[in-house]
Structure 1
Amino acid sequence: MSKYADKVDFWRQKGFDVVEKRGWVRKIRSLARERLSQQDYIDCMKQVGWESII
């Protein structure tokens, strides 16, 4: 069972390929910054509780 199942599911629904290993959050953040508009990126970070790293 995933420790972060809700966050992983959220990003998978957004179309990101999530592999839960060391550094996955950093990878998803950088991919999201590239793929999403600035406002969508900020909204997604807030939805998963990552406001502190915007």
Structure 2
Amino acid sequence: MSKHPDKVNFWRQKGFVVIEKRGWVRKIRSLAKERLNKQDYINCMKQVGWESII
């Protein structure tokens, strides 16, 4: 069972493949930074509660 089902589902809905293993957050952040424009990236980080990462 997922520790963070809401965050995992959010990123899956955005079209990212999420494999919950060690380091998955870092991988999703870097993929999001590559794929999304700056404003979308910031909005997504805020939606999942990762504002401190921006």
Q: TM-score range by the shorter chain?
A: over 0.9
Give TM-score, length-normalised by structure 2.
0.99
Identity in percent? 83
Structure 2 residues without counterparts, runs of 5 or longer: none
TM-score, L = length of structure 1 = 0.99
**CA RMSD after TM alignment:** 0.3
Following TM superposition, the consecutive aligned residue runs of length 4 or more in structure 1 with deviations greater than 2 angstroms are: none
Matched residue count: 54
Q: 2: distance between equivalents of 1:19 and 1:7?
A: 12
Q: Which runs of 5+ in 1 are unaligned?
A: none
Q: Give the distance between the partners of 2:2 and 2:24, measured in 1 at CA.
A: 13
